[in-house]
Structure formats: C-alpha cells, structure tokens
Structure 1
Amino acid sequence: MNYSYFQFIVLNNIPFMHFFSKNKKEKIEFYSATIPFIEFLSEMERESYSYTPQLVIPPIFIEIMDMQSFQEEMTEFLEKYERKDVYTYWMEKNKNLNTVLKSLLKENKVELLATPVSNSSVPNLSTSTGLKIQVEMSLAILEDHLAYQPTGFWFPNGNFAPGIDLYLKKAGLHFSFLNSKTIYMSDPLPSEEGIAVRSPHELLFYPVEESLYEVINSKNYSRAIWEEELLKLLSHYNHYSNRAIITIPIELNQFMSFKEDWKKSIRYLMDEGYMVNISSTMYEKQFNESIDAVHLSSSSLSFNKNHVITRNSHWYPSLSFLEREIEQWKQWRLEKDKERLVKQLEKEWIMLSALLYQDDELEVLRVHNHLEAANKLSKYMKESVDHDWLLEREQQTPILSSTIFLGKREDRSVKSKRTKKILILSWEYPPNLIGGLGTHVVGLCKSLIKKDFEVHLITAQDIKQEPIDMEEEEGLFVYRVKPIYSQEQNFIHWIGGLNLAMWEKAMEIYQFVSFDLVQAHDWLVSSAAITIKNQLDIPLISTIHATEHGRNGGIYTEMQKFIHEKERQLIQESQSLIVCSDFMKEELQSIFQVEEKKIQVIPNGVEVTGKKKVSIKSVEHLSLDTNKKIIFAMGRMVREKGFGTLLEAAKILHKNRSDLFFMIAGIGPMYEEYQRFIERNHLTESVRLIGYLNEEQKNACYSITDIAVIPSSYEPFGIVALESLLFSIPTIASNTGGLSGIMENHVTGVYMEPNNAESLVESIEYLLENTVMGKEIGEKGSELVRQLFSWNRIGEETSRVFQEVIVQFKVREFLESK
C-alpha cells in the first residue's frame, strides 16, 4: 500500500506567567486561555479518536494546576463569565485537571512531550547547568505531578542547536522534532524526503512541515485547502519504502475550533490509504535498522517566533549573568541555608527566563523584581542570610519545588589549591605525535601547571594502543576521546566526529569543573572550541601554529578552501591569538586582516633541564652507520618540510663523498615518494628514512648527530631547530618564516636558501670543513636556547596573556549585566 505515516502534536502555548501577574487584564487572559484546555481534556475523555495526539504543555502550568489558589480563582472566573458547560465539567472533576490528564495518559488517549520548564528557547541558554535545569526540572515536574516519564521532547519554536541532543539522550529521552528543511540539509543528506533521522548522539528527529501549519492558521483556512496542501506534500514522498512520516503541529485553540473538521479529514485520509497513524516509539522500532545517521545544524520554525532576542535583548545579559551565578555556586557543597539560597536563585532565573519568552508585552517591574531578588540572594551567599526575607520570597513563588534529577556537582578541583582552570583542545598529544604541535602542547601544559593553572586537556585517542579515557597527575588531567564515526575514511568527516566527541567530553567534565577559558590549537579543533566558548560563555584563546595558505603558497583546492574557512572562523571567534613568531603574526595580518592588538607573539620552547646524552641502544635496530658523519633531519613527511631539497643535496654530495650518512625521521604522505627517490638514485647505503621516533629514540639520534638540518620551505617557527641547538649540534636551517628569527648566521647556526639544494650542500660542506667553528656555533646555539626558549619563560608569557583575557572578559561581562 502506498501510504505515509503521520503524528499529531497539539501545542498548548498558554501565557502561564500571567497567573503571577497583578494586572487584572492579564489574569483574565490567563483564565480565558485555560478554558480551551479544559475543553480539550473533556473532548479526549468523551470521544474516541483514531490516533493519539501528542500534547505539549508548559511544565510550570502543570504545577499551577495543582495549586489551590488557581483552582479557587478558576472557579470564580467560570462562575462570573457564565461558562456553564465548562463549569459543570470543572466541578465534576473536583477542579483538578491534572487528575484528568493522568487518566488520559494512562489510557493512552494522549501522549505528553517534555519541553523546557520555562518554555524557553533552549539554544539561548548560556551554560550546561542552565540547560540541565530546564530539561531535568521539566521531567521532575511531570514525574511528581503526573507520575509520567515522557520519551519525546518539543523545542519551543523548534529552536535547536547541535549538541543539545546529548543532554536529552542522557536525560532518558528518545526523540524530538525539527524543521524538515533542516533535516533535508543534514550531513550526509538523508536517503529520501520525509523520513526521520538519527543524530550523532542517537536521538531520533522527526520532520515538521511548516507549510501545513501555515495553511491551518491562515485566514482563508478550509478543510479542502488543508487536504490539498497535505496531498501535495505526500506526492513528493517515496511510497515504495513507506518510511515517510508527517508531523502536524497545531495550536490547541485551532484544534478545538476545527475539531470536527480534523476528525472528518483524518478519517478520510486514513480510509483512502493516504496516511496511517503511528506512534514515535513504534516508528523507531519498525525502522530502527534503516534510520539514517546524520549531523544536524541549528534549526528553528518560522511560526510563533518569540521576541526575546529582538524586543527584550537588553535583558538577556542579566539572564545569562544570573545563570552563571547558579553555575558558580552549584559546584560547592553548601550548608542547608545556602542550599535554600541556590534553590531560590534557580527559581528566580527560571521565572525571569519564562517572562522573557512569553508572547505578551514585557512587564518591566516584574523583571526588575526577579533581578533584585537574585542580587539579594547572591549577596546572602557571601554574607549572613535574612531568613525572614528568604521565607517570604519562597512563599511568593510556591512552584518549582520538584526534585531536580541534576545531582550536586562534585568538583574535584575544589580539593585543589589551583584557582585558575583552563581547558585545552589539541588533536595531537603524546604518544600520538605527528608534528611539532603535540610537543608544543606538552611543554605548554607543564609550564602552565608551574604557574598554578589546573589544566584539562582533551585529545584524540591513540589508535595504536589500548584506549585510555583519562590520565591524571598533579595539576593536569588528560582525556582521550574516540571520534564519533571513528572508522570514517573521509578526513574532514573524521575531524567532524572528533570535534563532536571533544565537545561531549568537555560537557561531561564541566559537570565538576568550571573553566576560566578554553584554548584551541589550530583549525582541527575549531568547531568544538567555538561551541564550548559560546555554550559555556568563556573566552577562547587560539594558538595558530600554521595556516593552509602559508603551507601551500595560496588556496587552490576545495579541501584547502574548507580548511582556510575553518581557520578564519576560529580566528574571528577567538578573543586573543597566540603565534610563535613575528613571521606568523604578519601572515595572519596579511591573510585574515587580523588587528595587531589581537595577536600575541610567544615563541615555541623546549625543556632545557635534564637533557643528557643517552645510550643509542634504543635505535640500534635501525642499523645506523655511526662510522660516518651523521646528518639528521626530522619532521612530518610533507612537501613544505623540504626533505625533497635534502635528498637532492644528499644525491649531489654522494657523488664526491662516501663519509656521510643521512637519517631522516618522521612519517607522512610523502614517505613512499621519498623512499622511491632514495632507491632510484642508489642512495640506500647513505640515506635512511627511519620513521617515527619516541622521545628516547629522538634523544639517542641527537646524541650521535654531527649536523642537524631543517630544510623547510614554510616553517612558522621550527621547534626541531631548538631541540638540535639544545644538544649543541651545529644546525642548518632555511632562511624562511619563523626559522629566520631564531639564529644568527655563522654565530648560533647556519642558514641556507629554501628550496635550494646547492645552498644546502654549501652549508653542509662549510661545517664539515670548519669543525672547530661548527662546535662553537653549536655551543652558542645551545646557550641561546637555554636563555630565550625555556618553557619556564614561555609559560610566564602565556600565563600573562591568559590572565589578561580572563580579566577583560569578566569586566565586559560585568558591564553588560548592568
């Protein structure tokens, strides 16, 4: 049979905050809006529908319905305005609508969807704590007042942002709804139109077709026009797979106004085989194996837009500030009185957020009332408590008393004396090393710990070893994550999965640690870093180690364009940028038009203590010819590292000399091409590619090296040069990029022209013929590194940048809250 499935959602967008208003007009609006809901419950009890509508009710309204004051005032309202039919039903049900709703849920005549407790737009919540309070308080209310545990979630106005699905899944929810246009633009694209999809965190999302909603709410609405629009929509779907599902949202008032139309229309469409009702749970069971897994972007529905961002945007910083106040205090174990203060602070925040997201005109006095109360509560958290005032305030808001599932955050860092906590994202970290980035991060972490920072580092899991989720030492916590879709062959998709996994781990850590800032290392972690920055409302500092433009001398391919744009986004979103050389600073200013004051130049460093010549036992298996003069180079096997130039120089020298042995360490995409060059030119006896080296092997190689070479054509800094100089090895480096600012030619090192094999040959021969001068150059180079490039000194400079950014961010935050 060629049919599509459908499900029906009834939206009860009642202005529940009017219940707390002292304005008579608003009170009347609230009780008038309650009448259609009473009629809906009566309709669901009395009539037998061929489908089960899904119902969305603001959770605070569910609490209000159990309040005695509401039941008394509603009774007076019905008596005064002579709604005898509703009044009769109201009295028959003993004024308790929740009892009726519980019965309907139990009989499966309606299904209830969870929604944020204040009916607020979820993506606009600025911290994970705010999101958890909204979701989990909502679930607690449904459990306490209705003994009900929903499996679906409705985003007010359809406002969704990537990552929120993780919270919903962890809260026990299984499905939600998104604008169909968002689902049609997911990555990868769904296999057909009209089907549900699964998010990276295993939440099912059903498409909402806005066109149907617009027809229902138009002035020219008729059953015929609505059915025509629906049939036109159905004609686009693949009826051979029978997976298409239509989600039909309708306002409760509209549903009650046209309920007879709905009955006839739905019955007709079902009888004619166009549609079949199915529950979300049954749909998932039926198509579980074939549901497409996709990445979803931010989404919203165009109908019923709330106005908090436009009309009330000047209140939003205060809302965010209050939310972070709650976040700050929830990490401590508090005395009973202080616990009450935090609980009341949560109430003020929820009430304020509900006011800002109501469709009615904002009552400034009511907003001020909640803000003033919040300020008092914050003050009492640090001073003695005015118990009379607190009791009075608690009685003024006799709602939101349900038990929140959100547990007390046990902040492990509370036990630590370290007050500054930072989150670092780096895709490289030992033993997972490819280039200098990971080595840089190791040195940085050690130096920051010495400066009293508590460092939390998230990095990629080492695929060659047994997975280790977490390592801990004094002041440093290292978390290794497995990318979502870790078997993905497409590198860009793999990086996307890594960023999702990093974000998820960061949110998990954030349950027990409040970060002062997040630091990103290059574009590979940009998506996670930007999301964390925005969601936790903390400053972002990015260290740019290199650029795609610089590596390739321009942007030419689609891959290069993608990476270039990711770099641009990271640079724009960062409060401050750190680069390792003046060369890199000029490159960012030229390519990305970055303001000079935003960029801080802090060179790379090396560990200058404990460097001793070691035994070569760890590299004996490499069969290195130590009877010859050893020329050592190390780095990623990519074109810009200049190993092609080194091999050309080796070829030239090999014609006249047999006393040289070149060893080149590293891995990368050019490895096989370089190996073929060696074999083709009969250099196997004098040139050896020795692959990846661990720290012990690297030091062993340095201990037997006579000359070190860094022949890069593009090098933002060149940490390898520092390492070789530290071992007092005479070092030849390309006169380019950051390398050109490290050494003084023929004093602390020797320069060669980049991409010039003859120039490199000349430099090698100079050092071979002037051994005494070479030894002196090596010793002066070592002294230079120890004085200028120690991690202790670099840690001081980095710490200064971090502190300045944190202070500037807090000042801005304070000013915006005023």
Structure 2
Amino acid sequence: MNGSYFQLIVINNIPFMNYFSEDKNKKREFYEHTIQYINFLFLTEKNNSPYIIQLVVPPIYMEILDLQSFREEMTEFLEKENCNVELLTYWQQKDKNLLKIMKSLIQDNRIELLASPASFSQVSNASTSTGVQLQMEMGLSIIDDYIEYRPKGFWFPEGYFSPGLDLYLQKEKLTYSYLNSVTINHSDPLPSDVGLAVESPHHVVFFPVEESLYQIFQEKNPQKQIWDKAIMEVLESYNHYTNESILSLPIDLESYVKIGEELNKSIRYLCDEGYMVHITPETYLNQFSQGMDHVHLCSSFLDQHRESQIKNQSDIYASLAFVEKELHQWRQVLLSNEAKSVQKQLEKEWLLLSALLYQDNWTAEEASSYLEAANQLSIFMKGPIDKEWMSLREKVHPILNTTIQMNNPKINEIIPSNKKKALILSWEYPPNIVGGLGTHVVGLTNSLIKNGYEVHLITAQDMQKKAEDVEEKNGLFVYRVKPIYSIEQNFIHWIGGLNLAMWDKAIELGKKTTFDLIQAHDWLVGAAAISLKDQLNIPLIATIHATEHGRNGGIYTEMQKFIHGKERQLIHAADSLIVCSEYMQDEVMSIFEVEQSKINIIPNGIESMQIENASFPSVESLHLDKNKKIIFAMGRMVKEKGFGTLLEAARKLHKKRSDLYFVIAGVGPMYEEYQRFIERNGLSECVQLIGYLHGEQKNAFYAHANIVVIPSSYEPFGIVALESLIFAVPTIVSHTGGLKGIIKNGETGLFMEPNNADNLVENIEYLLENPTEGKTIGKNGQKLVSQLFSWNRIGEETKRVFDELLVNTKVNESISN
C-alpha cells in the first residue's frame, strides 16, 4: 500500500443540557439535534459503508435517551414538527430506543464507540485528580450500564489535552486517543515522520488530527471541492514509504448528516485510486505498535472558541473549581453512609455544572442553581442533613445515578504532614555517582530534612537492579526510575528517556502529594522540571553546578550547542537559581544574560567527621608503599579536571626523586588515554589509576595522603577540595573558578597556575620540603571547612532561599488575581 490509512470520527456535539432547561427555544434545539442523531443512526444502518465509524456520544446524553419522559416528549415532537415520515416510522419501529440501535450497530461492526468525559467538558481543566477520575470513571460506567460496551479509545472534547491525562487513560485500560497533529509533530523527541501515531509515556497511542480539515467540516456549509483539495494536500504531505501514516477525519454529526453522501464519494474515490485505505485503531495498534515513536506530549486543543467565554465568566469557572477541590478533600475522609449520599449529590451537581459551562448559550441563572445546591450540600457535609431537600434535589435530574468506585488512596500511601514538600530531580544519586553533583544532592537532601522539609527525590534507577525501587527514611523519599530508552547508547537520547520517566513518576506522585516547589540539578533534568513546573503549577528553582561554556572555554560543536541551549532553557524557565560560588554567578550572568537578583550563592558542603577517632585501613591494605609520600587526586576523567597536567608533573618529578607515589581516582572518557600516557612514559611504578572509589575507600586515601592536588582548568566549586581539607591534608588547587573562593594561598592551601605542570611541581616540592608549614596549612583548611562549609549551615541557607521563593510566588499570585 503506497497510500495512507484513514479513519472517520463522528462527534455528536448535542447540547444535551438543554433538555433540563425551562427555555422552550433551548429545549427545541435539543430535540432538533436529536432528530439529526436519529437520522445518523438510520443512515448508518441503511447504508452499507465500507468503513467503521468512530462515534463520540456524550455519556450524559445516553442516560437521557433511556428516560421514559424523553421518549414520550421526543415522540410528540416528531409527530408535530417533523415532516420526514420515514424517520418517524423508523423511530417507532425501533421502539423509540436509540440505545438499542447503538448496541446493534456496535455488534455489527458499523460503529465503534469512543469514551469521553461524563459531562463532555474539557477534562484538562480539572484541577484535582478526583475531578479527572470522576469524569473518566463516570463516563465509562454510563457506557457500560447503558450500552454494555467497553471502549478502547477516548475522545477529548474539542481536543483539549494536557500532559498526565494519559495516565488516567492507561489506568482505565484505554489504549488510544486523538491529538492535534501540530502537537504530535512538535513532541519531544520529534517523531520520525509526519502523519504517524505516537505512543505517550503511559503507553497510550495518540492519532494525529489535522486541524485544517476539522475546521473545514466545522463551517456552516462546507464545500466538496474545498475539502477534497485539503485532504489531498494532507495526504501528499505524508511519507508514503513508511506505510504507517494515518489520516483521522473528525466531523460533527450534524455536518456529517448534511454532507455525508458527498463526503463518502470523496472517500470512495480516494480509496479506489489508492490514496488511502480504511483501518480501525485497534488493527493499526496491532500492526504498528512495536516500532512506534515514544514521545512526551505537551498541551493541545483543536478549537479555542471557549477561551473568551472562560475569561468573561471567570467567577463561575472559579466556583466550579472550588466545588471540585471540595470534592477532592472529602474523598480523603472516611464518611458515614448519610454523608456519602450527600457527597454523591455534590459530585452530580459538579458534573452537571461542568456540562452546562462547556455548552453554548448558558446563563448565569442556570449556573447559579447548581452552585447554590453545591453550597447547600457543603453545609450538609459538615452538619445536619435536610433529608426532604435532598430527596427533592435528587429528583430534579434523574441521571448520573451510576455507581462507581473511586480509587481512594490507601492509608499508607498518604501520610498527613504539615511540612513543606520539595520535589527534587537529579540524574546522579548513590549508588550512581559520576561526579560531585551526586555527593552534593546527598548532603543537600539530608540537610533540608533537618531543616523541616519533606523531600521527594526522583533519580535514575540503580542499573544493577531490574525493577524500579523506592526508599523512604526520615522524611526522604527516593524514587529510582528506569529511562524509557534504557539501553540507548546515545547519551542525549538516554537523557531524553530519563526525563520522560522522571516526569511520569512526578505526575503519578502529584496525584496524591501536593508539592510546594521543584528543584532541578543541572540541564540533564531540565526538560522534566520545566514541564512539571507548569503541570503542577509550582515554582521551579534550578541549581547550576557547571556550564558547557565554562567546561570548554566556549561553544564549538553541535553537541555543545545542544547542551548550551538546554542550559539556557532551564535557567530562564526557573523562578530562582542557586550557584555554588561568585565565580559561577558571574559566569551565569554573563553567558546567559541573567539578572543578579535571580541568583543565590550557596557553596557546596561537606559532612564534618571525627577524623581523630576514625579507623581506616592500613597503607599496606591499600596496596601503597609506606616508605613513599602519597600524592592523591580524585575526579572525573575529563579534560577540564586537569589530570593531564598532574601526570606531566609526575613525569618531571619521577626524574628527580623516587619517594613519590601518585594515586588518581575516578572514571571517565579520558581514563584510557591517561593510562597510555603512564605506560608510554614508564610511570607505572609511581602512578596508579584506581578507578571509582566509594565513600569509605575515598576517606581512607585522604587519611593516608601527604598532599592532595586539584589541578582543574575549570572548577565551578570544587567539593573535592572540601573533602581533602576536612582531613587536614595540605591541598594544592588551581587558581580558577570557585576554588579561588575556598583557598587563601599559603594559609589554607596553595594555588597553582592552571595547565602549568612546572608550577605544580614547585608547589609539591615546597610542601615536601616544608612539612611543618604543610601541616599548619592543612589544619587551617580543616578549621575553615568546619566553620563555613557544614551541610547544616548550607541547609539553612537553602531553606531560606526556598521559603523566600514560596513567599514571592504567593505575593505574585495575589497581585495577578
């Protein structure tokens, strides 16, 4: 097949709330629309269409169809107003039961029914998990009760979707839905081609809907030559060599009844000429789901015509949200049977008000009747219940009586807490440690807990474990997630998959935990953090540990350009920034054009240790010669850490003396190159690369080292310097970056010129020849670190920044409101 696949979606946008209106014109409009629906069912049953129609019907409307009062009134209307004798005959022959006709058409594979929100309103505007669940579960329960059918697909009214809603679809075992094709074409990562269905983080497939075609069919009198041309333009834009492109054609039922015959001519022509062929969503999934693009989807819509209405009636919509949040609160409480009946009616009032507001031509008086009832029910939830009032109100709208079981949170899943909750994203966390970032996050989370915060940390899965694991200890919750592209070799793609998994987990947590803020550590988690800021509607604070520009002395390659762009995106999206030194503050301000007022300087910290009382393995057990002076260095094996300079200094010193032994710990891309340098220059007897060290191993080497060297050419802060100083080891550091703010030359350490091996040799020789001065320098450094860089102090500083951000956010919200 060289053409595309296609499917047709018919949407019954009937103003079903008009059935309850006292306005005769509105009620007449409802019956006229119902005549169109009868006509649609009649034509679908009569005509032998070569394709199955995806049908969307508001669930509440299905309940109305089952009311005896509706059937009687509809019969009267048809007899008085309708001149189509054939349609009246059809109505009577089918026992005035449209639900029965729908069942028959589904069984005959003439239509497939799509699920939709119970009130057929924009579920993306629901502000709580209870609201979304109620819309989804009630809608599905109505279909099950009245049609005895379980849909596989879901239709978002007017195409309104927001990230995270696919989680609810997945939980209800709904496998596919529809989105504006523009949204799909701009997903992250980009899909491999246009016109393809994609899979969301929660494994729901989304078919693209061409908005241009949707708008053409929305017109009052759509013209065949116009839609023919538009459909051809779309089909020609697809890459037919993929054999996976699919054209989804959504059309309102009223338009379909009017132009259905002409539209079917267009479809038959395109099918006969090989431009497209019909496929059901389920068949498409069975055929193509294995190689489908996995993407992160942003918010989407097909029609924005309600935006002005929402702005003009913002007080009513705000009241709707208030009722929903009250429902959400009561869902967390164990209620008596009487209170449950009140809660049920409150749900009903909320759903009906939702249905009313998302139809045209409603009045403030109509909305007020639901709001007044909701207010009365709220009073009953807290005090005596007026049973007579309740009985009368329940009879006003004899619908929405389907019983559903909401997924109430388990007691052990939500522990009430008055503590502020921080959501922290970090790609590094023990046991996955690559550099200083992971060590920083450990110290920070522990100190935040001591300062009264509850911390929820999402990080990469321990790659030694198969399943996702969760830890909880003293107010710290650690969630390790598996990247969606876990076996991806390309690091950028792997990071993209990690962000999708992090976002997924955070959305899941957000259903049962209200976070106060998000903290993102570096660009690697920026995509998830930026999306969550909007999705959870909470402020974002980013900690910038280093920049790609600083690491490389500029931006030169495409990879560096990509990372630099991601850093800029995160920095400008964040409400506040934390950096570890004045040097980093200046770097961020100059490179990314950020105001100083947005940046907070909080240095890295280190846990204080009782070195004197600690026991460490002997020199011999570490495979070190006790007769030699140990010069220790540690860090990632990358160019900017300056280990090339240290190896060159070792080569020079090896020619002068034989009492030195250089130990360099760490892993990274330069490891093999450094090992070859050692072998090529005959340094194997005096230089050893020992790979990654765990905490106790690392401390053992610090304890036995005579000198520590930090030869970085770029170092935003230098947590390794703190680790060596806490052991009172005389330390040589490069005169660069944040290291300049830690060391006072000759008092708490020694400075070397970056990339200058001769100068490093001079500093090492000075400390070896002046052991007393070296010991004093080490003790002064230890004292400095203990006073200024304890995690307790840094935790207090971070808490201050967090609290200040939360206050500023509330102030800004109150001003904007």
* 1:764 maps to 2:764: yes
Query: What is the match of residue 98 of structure 1?
Result: 99
In structure 1, distance between residues paired with 2:376 and 2:560? 54
Query: What is the match of residue 560 of structure 2?
Result: 560
| Structure 1 residue 123, shift from structure 2 partner | 4.5
Could you tell me the TM-score, scaled by structure 2's length?
Answer: 0.89
2:688 match: secondary structure: strand
Contact preservation (8 Å) 2:16, 2:30:
yes
Query: What is the match of residue 524 of structure 1?
Result: 524
Distance 1:225-1:534 versus aligned 2 partners, 3 A rule: closer
Contact preservation (8 Å) 2:380, 2:386:
no
Contact preservation (8 Å) 1:63, 1:399:
yes
In structure 1, distance between residues paired with 2:484 and 2:729? 44
Contact preservation (8 Å) 1:210, 1:301:
no
Query: What is the match of residue 156 of structure 2?
Result: 155
Distance 1:397-1:516 versus aligned 2 partners, 3 A rule: farther
Q: How many residues align?
A: 813
| Structure 1 residue 149, shift from structure 2 partner | 0.9
Distance 1:767-1:333 versus aligned 2 partners, 3 A rule: farther
Deviates more, 1:602-611 or 1:261-270: 261-270
| Structure 1 residue 544, shift from structure 2 partner | 1.7
In structure 1, distance between residues paired with 2:810 and 2:517? 11
Query: What is the match of residue 305 of structure 1?
Result: 304
2:690 match: secondary structure: strand
Deviates more, 1:495-504 or 1:305-314: 305-314
Could you tell me the TM-score, scaled by structure 1's length?
Answer: 0.89
In structure 2, distance between residues paired with 1:641 and 1:279? 57
% identity of equivalent residues: 59
Query: What is the match of residue 486 of structure 1?
Result: 486
In structure 2, distance between residues paired with 1:527 and 1:584? 22
Distance 1:190-1:660 versus aligned 2 partners, 3 A rule: same
Distance 1:270-1:747 versus aligned 2 partners, 3 A rule: closer
Deviates more, 1:674-683 or 1:342-351: 342-351
In structure 1, distance between residues paired with 2:286 and 2:456? 40
| Structure 1 residue 53, shift from structure 2 partner | 0.9
| Structure 1 residue 175, shift from structure 2 partner | 1.8
Amino acid at match of 1:63: E
Contact preservation (8 Å) 1:522, 1:544:
yes
Match runs of 1:598-747 below 5 Å: 598-611=598-611, 616-617=616-617, 623-747=623-747
Contact preservation (8 Å) 2:435, 2:636:
yes
Query: What is the match of residue 774 of structure 1?
Result: 774
Contact preservation (8 Å) 2:296, 2:500:
no
Contact preservation (8 Å) 1:428, 1:438:
yes
Query: What is the match of residue 262 of structure 2?
Result: 261
Query: What is the match of residue 436 of structure 1?
Result: 436
Query: What is the match of residue 588 of structure 1?
Result: 588
* 1:278 maps to 2:288: no
2:151 match: secondary structure: coil
Contact preservation (8 Å) 1:127, 1:537:
no
Distance 1:713-1:400 versus aligned 2 partners, 3 A rule: farther
Distance 1:241-1:380 versus aligned 2 partners, 3 A rule: same
In structure 1, distance between residues paired with 2:652 and 2:242? 67
Distance 1:273-1:576 versus aligned 2 partners, 3 A rule: closer
In structure 1, distance between residues paired with 2:140 and 2:398? 18
Match runs of 1:92-491 below 5 Å: 92-93=93-94, 95-183=96-184, 194-214=195-215, 216=217, 221-223=222-224, 226-227=227-228, 230=231, 234=235, 243-270=244-271, 275-289=276-290, 291-295=291-295, 297-298=297-298, 300=300, 304-308=303-307, 312=311, 315=314, 323-336=324-337, 339=340, 343=344, 346-347=347-348, 349-358=350-359, 360-361=360-361, 363-366=363-366, 383-384=382-383, 387=386, 399-404=399-404, 406-410=406-410, 412=412, 414-415=414-415, 419-465=419-465, 467=467, 469-491=469-491
Query: What is the match of residue 31 of structure 1?
Result: 31
Q: Deviations over 1:597-623 (max 9, x none)?
A: 332222211111455665554986763
Distance 1:507-1:299 versus aligned 2 partners, 3 A rule: closer
Query: What is the match of residue 794 of structure 1?
Result: 794
Contact preservation (8 Å) 2:420, 2:454:
yes
Amino acid at match of 2:172: A
Deviates more, 1:315-324 or 1:103-112: 315-324
Query: What is the match of residue 52 of structure 1?
Result: 52
Query: What is the match of residue 535 of structure 1?
Result: 535
| Structure 1 residue 438, shift from structure 2 partner | 0.7
Deviates more, 1:456-465 or 1:119-128: 119-128
Distance 1:33-1:339 versus aligned 2 partners, 3 A rule: same
| Structure 1 residue 459, shift from structure 2 partner | 0.9
Contact preservation (8 Å) 2:619, 2:704:
no
Amino acid at match of 2:38: I
Q: Deviations over 1:144-163 (max 9, x none)?
A: 33222111122333344555
Contact preservation (8 Å) 1:332, 1:409:
no
1:653 match: secondary structure: helix
In structure 2, distance between residues paired with 1:459 and 1:692? 20
| Structure 1 residue 260, shift from structure 2 partner | 2.9
In structure 2, distance between residues paired with 1:196 and 1:307? 27
Contact preservation (8 Å) 2:217, 2:252:
no
Contact preservation (8 Å) 2:198, 2:295:
no
Amino acid at match of 2:311: N
| Structure 1 residue 49, shift from structure 2 partner | 2.6
In structure 1, distance between residues paired with 2:378 and 2:570? 35
| Structure 1 residue 665, shift from structure 2 partner | 1.0
Contact preservation (8 Å) 1:157, 1:306:
no
Distance 1:579-1:344 versus aligned 2 partners, 3 A rule: farther
Distance 1:808-1:226 versus aligned 2 partners, 3 A rule: closer
Contact preservation (8 Å) 2:190, 2:295:
no
Distance 1:815-1:327 versus aligned 2 partners, 3 A rule: farther
| Structure 1 residue 792, shift from structure 2 partner | 1.8
| Structure 1 residue 679, shift from structure 2 partner | 2.5
Contact preservation (8 Å) 1:418, 1:454:
no
Q: Deviations over 1:381-410 (max 9, x none)?
A: 6x5466567766666565444344540012
Deviates more, 1:504-513 or 1:320-329: 320-329
1:691 match: secondary structure: coil
| Structure 1 residue 802, shift from structure 2 partner | 2.5
| Structure 1 residue 6, shift from structure 2 partner | 2.7
* 1:8 maps to 2:8: yes
1:495 match: secondary structure: helix
Contact preservation (8 Å) 1:412, 1:513:
no
Contact preservation (8 Å) 2:11, 2:55:
yes
Q: Deviations over 1:414-452 (max 9, x none)?
A: 446563332221110111101111111111121222233
| Structure 1 residue 286, shift from structure 2 partner | 3.7
Amino acid at match of 1:719: I
| Structure 1 residue 744, shift from structure 2 partner | 2.6
| Structure 1 residue 118, shift from structure 2 partner | 3.5
Deviates more, 1:780-789 or 1:211-220: 211-220
Deviates more, 1:8-17 or 1:114-123: 114-123
2:578 match: secondary structure: strand
2:527 match: secondary structure: helix
Distance 1:582-1:103 versus aligned 2 partners, 3 A rule: same
Distance 1:191-1:773 versus aligned 2 partners, 3 A rule: closer
Deviates more, 1:445-454 or 1:345-354: 345-354
In structure 1, distance between residues paired with 2:540 and 2:189? 29
Deviates more, 1:806-815 or 1:575-584: 806-815
In structure 2, distance between residues paired with 1:378 and 1:782? 62
| Structure 1 residue 658, shift from structure 2 partner | 2.1
In structure 2, distance between residues paired with 1:195 and 1:414? 40
Amino acid at match of 1:732: I
Amino acid at match of 1:479: Y
In structure 2, distance between residues paired with 1:776 and 1:325? 65
| Structure 1 residue 253, shift from structure 2 partner | 1.1
Distance 1:806-1:84 versus aligned 2 partners, 3 A rule: same
Contact preservation (8 Å) 2:187, 2:298:
no
Distance 1:811-1:18 versus aligned 2 partners, 3 A rule: farther
Contact preservation (8 Å) 1:157, 1:300:
no
In structure 2, distance between residues paired with 1:317 and 1:640? 54
In structure 2, distance between residues paired with 1:618 and 1:57? 77
